[in-house]
Amino acid sequence: MVNNSYYSQDLHGPYELHDVGNLELEEGGTIRNCNLAYATFGTLNAAKDNAILVPTWYSGTNKIIEQVLIGKGRGLDPDKYFIIVVNQIGNGLSSSPPNTPAPGGMANFPHVRIGDDVRAQHKLLTEKIGLSSLALVVGGSMGAQQTYEWAVRYSDFVKRAAPIAGTAKNTEHDFVFTETLSEAITSDPGFNGGKYGSSADVAAGLKRHAKLWTVMGWSTDFFREGRHKALGFDSMQAFVDTFMTGYFAPMDPNDLLAMAWKWQRGDVSRNTGDDLASALGRIKAKTYVMPISHDMFFPPSDCEVEQRLIPGSQFRPMKSICGHVGLFGVDPELLAQVDANLNELLAAPGT
Amino acid sequence: MVNNSYYSQDLHGPYELHDVGNLELEEGGTIRNCNLAYATFGTLNAAKDNAILVPTWYSGTNKIIEQVLIGKGRGLDPDKYFIIVVNQIGNGLSSSPPNTPAPGGMANFPHVRIGDDVRAQHKLLTEKIGLSSLALVVGGSMGAQQTYEWAVRYSDFVKRAAPIAGTAKNTEHDFVFTETLSEAITSDPGFNGGKYGSSADVAAGLKRHAKLWTVMGWSTDFFREGRHKALGFDSMQAFVDTFMTGYFAPMDPNDLLAMAWKWQRGDVSRNTGDDLASALGRIKAKTYVMPISHDMFFPPSDCEVEQRLIPGSQFRPMKSICGHVGLFGVDPELLAQVDANLNELLAAPGT
């Protein structure tokens, strides 16, 4: 196991751990005593019908979800709802390469799929928390992948779904983009086949990875309008070096790679013999598909094609020149659009 | 010097070489006996007023320009015009890292700027070919950068200008993207600080570079609509491995880096103390600004901001889901739009 103080209660807590037991993986292999790290906000009501699940995105934890999406008066209001944020497997808090004992940890950590996460989360919600339905599943990016998987796989369990800035079946384009992220890391000699001593050994690769996020994560309009400077950086160089590189630098490379592998292969049609229309046709949740206008990972046009396959769903594109990384919460106008959509969706009858 | 059969008359000829003498560079240093490789099509008329200059884009040579843009009945018709395609410095045919003798070649090749190219081209056109004006300068991508530089620097010489899919001042966003291209190459241990034996030593880096071109060069719509498969590749993997990687693999890494460095820093406002409006205000050429709708390097919105600063210019966006790499010529509908614009521009009175 590798000790990395980034993944700690100090920085990301409070969160709890729940052992869902041995998790048999879709790709083969098992995570023994698979732990899910989760944080809850608000109180479950007597009818147990006010629970909301929020799975995490690539590199994110329950903490950024809390900071960006949850709050009194917000769409995800802990005064009204019981909100459960579950960290995805491989994100450094739940079972992940560096916190898994040898011989299954680090470079030997097995390939995990979105479906594995969702089955593990289902165990947590049913066995530990005692739920039999969710008022809403909402998530951004890889959180949207998990949202779609939930809505397809447990179609009676999920009353409403709000996939934000993500797809049900990852595109070929996004697959190759994500591969460039992974290769930015693995091409660093310091990565050493996953057997590095600390993230600092892979600093050059992590910086290249951060530059790719800079290029694809925001938008050309964001930079033309000087929004990076409005965030307090006096140059593009400072924005890349301080903000983007600084954000990813402390993270564990094997964690990022585990999540990237999963991200590349998100695909609900695995439930229906590669028939995407059939998979999305299973969804019973009232669904709002919520892409971000300037998102270069999951552009609205890719999301709309899927939305049309979901019975009774609505296409709710949101506008932000922050692009995909608008998810980080730097654009208040985007957050207002998220809240407005979630308020409307939560007010609508579920299924 | 490194022998690379890719840069040969067999593959890219016929072209001629002209020695413009010692070229003093804006960044300091000199290219001794700087050679420009160029190819001509058609005949210069007696009035010498039918000459068209086409500078090359990143990685391109006179050959792809000929294949994509020149032809009987096309906008660039050799039956009507005398067309001069000049290879940019660093592209492998003109003076470049591998064809420059020690000690100035390979990793020691000096930094060249767009302005250096344009001054060298001006020497070729005036001293060797005997021109005192150009009916049109037209180029795509880095060819657009050179087109803008020509129109600003030699404003009386250039009667018409058609910058396609490029900007007059490179954006901060595009600067970082281009840096990821360069770093894909330089991070390969086989690159060895520029002292590799052959391009094959840098195959892994060149492949990563090709993947970045795949992600940013085309568009998400291109792949969603399966246009890569329509080009004859049965999978994304085959498209990346065969087409994109195959295209760049034989090229010289130091050549690509020399061009990328130049690309990052294209900026006509260097002529006017960083005042872009003042620089573009100098343009006398009748100018059509011709971005490509799905271009992620130089999106129409970035190009339109510049177009508004050019007196009497027109904004002529073209539609193609091929994005920036539409320049490669795979979309006949894009080429038809290029031709229509050039025909109209050439029919209009020059300045």
Residues in chain B, how many?
351
On whether any CB of chain A is under 8 Å from the CB of B237, the answer is: no
- Chain A residue with CA closest to B217: the answer is A173
B185 contact A CB<8A? no
- pLDDT for position A1: 67
Q: DSSP per residue over A190-239, as a string? A: GGGGG--SSGGGGHHHHHHHHHHHHHHHS-HHHHHTTHHHHTT-SSHHHI
Residues A159-218 have pLDDT tens digits of 999 999 999 999 999 999 999 999 999 999 999 999 999 999 999 999 999 999 999 999
pLDDT at A350: 79
Residue A302 C-beta-side C-alpha neighbours within 13 Å: 28
The shortest CB-CB distance from A212 to any of B175, B180, B218 is to B180
Instruction: Look up B122 and say whether it is catalytic.
Output: no
- Residue of B171, B175, B215 to mutate, testing the A interface (most A Cβ within 10 Å of its Cβ): B215
Q: CA A177 to CA A192: how far, in whole Å? A: 22
Contacts of B175 in chain A (CB under 8 A): 236
**Tokens matching residue B58:** 């990143």
Q: What is the mean pLDDT of residues A253-264?
A: 98
Question: Which chain B residues contact residue A212 at CB under 8 A?
Answer: 180
Q: Which of B181, B191, B207, B212 to mutate to test binding with chain A, by most A CBs within 10 Å of its CB?
A: B212
ipTM surpasses 0.90: yes
| A contacts of B215 (beta carbons < 8 Å) | 173, 176-177, 180, 216
Helix, strand or coil, per DSSP, at residue A35: strand
Give this prediction's pTM: 0.96
Query: Catalytic residue numbers of A?
Result: 141, 295, 324
Q: What is the pLDDT along chain B (351 residues), one digit of tens a residue?
A: 677 899 999 999 999 999 999 999 999 999 999 999 999 999 999 999 999 999 999 999 999 999 999 999 999 999 999 999 999 999 999 999 999 999 999 999 999 999 999 999 999 999 999 999 999 999 999 999 999 999 999 999 999 999 999 999 999 999 999 999 999 999 999 999 999 999 999 999 999 999 999 999 999 999 999 999 999 999 999 999 999 999 999 999 999 999 999 999 999 999 999 999 999 999 999 999 999 999 999 999 999 999 999 999 999 999 999 999 999 999 999 999 999 999 999 999 977
Q: Residue A236: closest CA among chain B residues belongs to which residue?
A: B172
pLDDT digits (tens, 9 = 90+) for A89-122: 999 999 999 999 999 999 999 999 999 999 999 9
Annotated catalytic, B295?
yes
In chain B, residues with a C-beta closer than 8 Å to the C-beta of A216 are 215-216
Averaged confidence pLDDT in chain A: 97
Substitution target in B169, B170, B171, B172 with the highest count of A β-carbons within 10 Å is B172
String of b and e for B75-102 (b: at least 16 CB within 10 Å)? bbbbebbbbbbbbbbbbbbbbbbbbbee
Question: Above 90 in pLDDT, residue A351?
Answer: no
Is B230 part of the contact surface with chain A (CB cutoff 8 Å)? no
A226 in B contact zone (CB under 8 Å): no
Across the interface, whether the CB atoms of B176 and A215 are under 8 A apart is answered yes
Put simply, whether A291 touches B (Cβ < 8 Å) is no
A203 touches chain B (CB under 8 A): no
Instruction: Collapse the DSSP code of A138 into the 3-class scheme (helix H, G, I; strand E, B; otherwise coil) and give the result.
Output: strand
B175 vs A: CB within 8 A: yes
- Rounded CA-CA distance B210/B306 in Å is 29
CB contact under 8 A, A171 and B224: yes
CB contact under 8 A, A224 and B305: yes
Closest CB to A173 among B212, B220, B305: B220
> Which residue's entry shows tokens 């792809």?
B64
State yes or no: is B94 an active-site residue. no
The per-residue pLDDT for range A61-95, each reduced to its tens digit, is 999 999 999 999 999 999 999 999 999 999 999 99
Nearest-angstrom CA–CA distance, B310 and B306? 7
Identify the pLDDT of residue B3.
Answer: 76
Which of residues 295 through 334 in chain B touch A, CB cutoff 8 A? 296, 299, 301-302, 305
The dihedrals phi and psi of B59, each to the nearest 5 degrees, come to 80, -15
The verdict on B179 touching A (C-beta cutoff 8 Å) is yes
B192 touches chain A (CB under 8 A): no
For A238-252, the pLDDT digits (tens) are 999 999 999 999 999
